[in-house]
Amino acid sequence: MTHNNICTACAADIYINTPVNRSFTYKIPGQMNILPGMRVVVNFGGRKMTGFVSSIHNKLPEGIELKDIESLIDDEPIYDDRIIRLAEYVSDSYLSSVGEALGKALPSGESSRSRPRASRVRQIQDSTISLTGKQKDIYEKIKSSGKGAHLIFGITGSGKTEVYMKAAIDAVSKGLSVIYLVPEITLSSQIHERLYKVFGENLIVYHSHLTPNQRLSNWKKFYRGEAMIAVGTRSAVFLQCPKLGLIIVDEEHDSSYKEQSTPRYNARRVAFYRGETENATLILGSATPSIETLYAAERGKIELHRLDERYGEGKLPIIEIVKLKNSNEEITPRLKLFTNKAIKDGKQAVYLLNRRGFAPFVLCGECGNAVECPDCSIGMNYHRGKGMLCHYCGYSSDVPLKCDKCGSESILKLGSGTQKIEELVSKEFPDYRIFRLDQDSARKKDAVYDLLEMMDKREIDILLGTQMISKGFDFHGVTVAGIIMADIGLNMPDFRATEKIFSLLMQLSGRSGRGGSEGRVIIQTLNDEHLIFGYLKKQDYWGFYREELKIRKLINYPPFSRLARIVIRGKEEEIVLQSAILLADDMKKTGSVKYPQIIILGPSPAPLSKIGGNYRYHIILKSNRLSDLTAFIRTALDSFKSKAVYIEIDIDPVDML
């Protein structure tokens, strides 16, 4: 070091994964060669933490004693200032610190010396991609646009993937990198196979089932341009590369793209931002686009493309809505009949176990009518000793003695405690080979590859699964899809409940009849008169969308407003409740003066009112302007101090539980 504190590189500005939204300056020891874009280890508050170097200085600040950087994690930069700007966007939009955003975006591996294990890929022969006339038209329109956002609204099995792949080939041929997002790790395995036959070692995967070092190795390959296409789940949206050309968001409606811990970003919105700021093309695809996305397409913010026919020999299945006799009936004669017929013909069946029921809801055993909040048009939940409760506004009432629609006194409480369907199916079909796919079984090594091979070889007769089996799997032997009880999930205290269940059932229906044989879908319900079943039977998503849009406009929910959800949680319920009341009262006083357009609902108990020993209350805010919403919440929380409770902030929540 020379006089006047001048040195070659003696200090670094470093972001740390902490709620404090600023960088911190550390001294660079003389022997360290540090550049922006490296990760380092620093002492922060007495703890060793990972720091992200954003800039370096050749002059030490005067009058301040700096801590030394303790060690290097990287021997070369693994990111540049684009990720800093992206982290700033995430921080501003989702009310986190920049350090928290970087902590979520960047890999955590500490060594890149070990190469990742080779992915297990089944042998695939044919690598030809042929497009139908309609597919080619869409591909050419996207190609000629150069950039911008596109929505491919295509029915299940219409060949959206072929368009994605053709667009990806075009981008890579121009020296541009491609990020291909899928909602589930299980789905990435099947997509990886299809892409590997085209791109080979030019392809990487990026998801949480890789080890930290594998993730770091793949990150660096993509960052350097050694691999040009990346397939991954939501965190892959942060991958850096020399020049981004295309982002694909498959099954764009899926709630898995929303992160559930700070910062609670939506990968779809981050993809929009990256497309705009990096001049990349964005392709969204779904058979059931989210209400917000389809509304944006109708308003011209996204270019809309339609695929209305199945690709190849596939035909749309016939959908039957079958009314259950009572809540104790799980497998109806119609479902048994078509399951037996399919398997005797050498085909397969998939059964959906919709396990979204979490707290009992109340409905009529005769007509299936559910109890709703009169102020929110949202399903209410039953709580023992308290009666019916709305988890949005806090409205409560007694359990009705009879149905207000048909007058029946057959009032049922359904939800948690549903029967073990897997055991029941095994007893019903003792000679059939049954396989269950859920989050637990999918975590086992090679479980998904085993499933794909067994389904292809017809070694499985009935595939049982939770929601993940509806997410894009392409099983050509499946001709029957059964939904055990469609009512579970339909009456949840969530304004998106109807949209979610419609999408789930439509997507599950799409697993049937993909191989040229006629498919059959049996949707079992206690309430066959619910409006969504009419649209499902006709496979009319547009009709459902129009109906849902009317309701959203009436109650001023997205896409006609932006939402924020603040969850207050802690070990002592009374302290949590009083803190929630205090925060809500302060917000209402401040909001009435500075932000009168912001609507504040609550506080009320969260639908999942206790998790892991923590009591939970929430406040819901609505506004037409996101910037007002985030500025208001930042101001309110800056003045709210409490060590007894923890505050969670969720902007644009997709789950209100």
pLDDT score recorded for residue 3: 39
pLDDT tens, position by position, 173-207: 999 999 999 998 776 777 888 899 899 999 999 99
Phi, psi of 103 (to 5 degrees): -60, -35
Contact between 490 and 370 under an 8 Å Cβ cutoff? The reply is: yes
- Indicate the length of the chain as a whole number: 657
Closest CA to 467 of 435, 426, 439, 497: 439
pLDDT tens, position by position, 370-394: 888 877 666 787 776 778 887 767 7
Other CB atoms closer than 10 Å to residue 79's CB: what's the count?
A: 25
Model confidence at 486: pLDDT above 80: yes
> Please, which residues bridge with residue 12 across strands?
26, 56
Q: Is residue 415 left, alpha or beta, with left meaning phi > 0 and alpha meaning psi from -120 to 50?
A: left
- Strand bridging mode 303-307 / 148-154: parallel
Residue with more model confidence, 534 or 9: 534
* Cα distance between residue 481 and residue 23, in whole Å: 53
Distances in whole angstroms, Cα of residue 375 to Cα of each of 36, 350, 389, 391, 496? 53, 39, 12, 12, 16
> Please, which residues bridge with residue 562 across strands?
623
Closest CA to 505 of 296, 317, 283, 276: 317
* Cα distance between residue 245 and residue 228, in whole Å: 10
Q: Which helix (H) or strand (E) holds 221?
A: helix 212-224
Domains of the chain: 3-105 (3.40.1440), 133-307 (3.40.50.300), 318-357+416-553 (3.40.50.300), 562-651 (3.30.70.600)
What are the helix (H) ranges across 98-211? 98-105, 133-145, 160-173, 185-199
Max Cα–Cα distance, the chain, nearest Å: 90
Model confidence at 445: pLDDT above 80: no
Contact between 602 and 392 under an 8 Å Cβ cutoff? The reply is: yes
Strand order through the sheet with 599-611: 599-611, 614-623, 562-570, 646-651
Handedness of CA 533, 153, 193, 130 (dihedral sign): positive
Q: Which helix (H) or strand (E) holds 421?
A: helix 421-428
Question: Rounded mean pLDDT of 501-530?
Answer: 85
Q: What does 293-317 look like in DSSP terms, one character per residue?
A: HHHHHHTTSSEEEEE-S-STT--PP
- Strand bridging mode 281-286 / 244-250: parallel
Phi, psi of 576 (to 5 degrees): -60, -45
* Cα distance between residue 76 and residue 93, in whole Å: 30
| Residue 94 token pair | 């989702």
Other CB atoms closer than 10 Å to residue 83's CB: what's the count?
A: 21
Contact between 305 and 151 under an 8 Å Cβ cutoff? The reply is: yes
* Cα distance between residue 29 and residue 10, in whole Å: 7
Q: Is 437 helix (H, G, I), strand (E, B) or coil?
A: strand
* Cα distance between residue 56 and residue 43, in whole Å: 18
Mean pLDDT of the chain: 87
Task: For residue 72, give every residue at least 6 positions away whose Cβ sits within 8 Å of its Cβ, in sequence order, or none.
Answer: 32, 34, 38, 39, 40, 41
* Cα distance between residue 429 and residue 422, in whole Å: 11
Task: For residue 644, give every residue at least 6 positions away whose Cβ sits within 8 Å of its Cβ, in sequence order, or none.
Answer: 570, 572, 575, 579
Confidence of residue 120 (pLDDT cuts 50, 70, 90): very low
Q: Is 404 helix (H, G, I), strand (E, B) or coil?
A: coil
Model confidence at 112: pLDDT above 60: no
Phi, psi of 144 (to 5 degrees): -75, -25
Question: Rounded mean pLDDT of 210-239?
Answer: 96
Question: Rounded mean pLDDT of 623-643?
Answer: 91
DSSP one-letter code for 172: H
Distances in whole angstroms, Cα of residue 530 to Cα of each of 328, 408, 497, 537? 20, 17, 13, 12
pLDDT tens, position by position, 254-282: 999 999 999 999 999 999 999 999 999 99
pLDDT score recorded for residue 118: 43
Least confident of 78-92, 213-227, 469-483, 546-560: 469-483
Distances in whole angstroms, Cα of residue 477 to Cα of each of 314, 435, 461? 11, 15, 9
> Tell me, what amino acid is at 336?
K
Please give the radius of gyration of the chain, using alpha carbons only, rounded to the nearest integer. 26
* Cα distance between residue 5 and residue 506, in whole Å: 66
Model confidence at 357: pLDDT above 50: no
* Cα distance between residue 162 and residue 178, in whole Å: 15
Model confidence at 356: pLDDT above 70: no
Closest CA to 489 of 357, 579, 620: 357
Q: Is residue 148 left, alpha or beta, with left meaning phi > 0 and alpha meaning psi from -120 to 50?
A: left
pLDDT score recorded for residue 541: 95
pLDDT tens, position by position, 421-437: 677 888 899 999 988 77
pLDDT score recorded for residue 313: 64
Q: Is 16 helix (H, G, I), strand (E, B) or coil?
A: strand
Q: What does 223-251 look like in DSSP terms, one character per residue?
A: HHTSS-EEEESGGGGG---SSEEEEEEET
Question: Rounded mean pLDDT of 294-299?
Answer: 97
> Tell me, what amino acid is at 360?
P
User: What burial letters (b/e) apply to 599-621, b meaning 16+ CB within 10 Å?
Assistant: ebbbbbbbbebeeeebbbbbbbb
Model confidence at 547: pLDDT above 80: yes
Least confident of 52-56, 103-107, 328-332, 571-575: 328-332
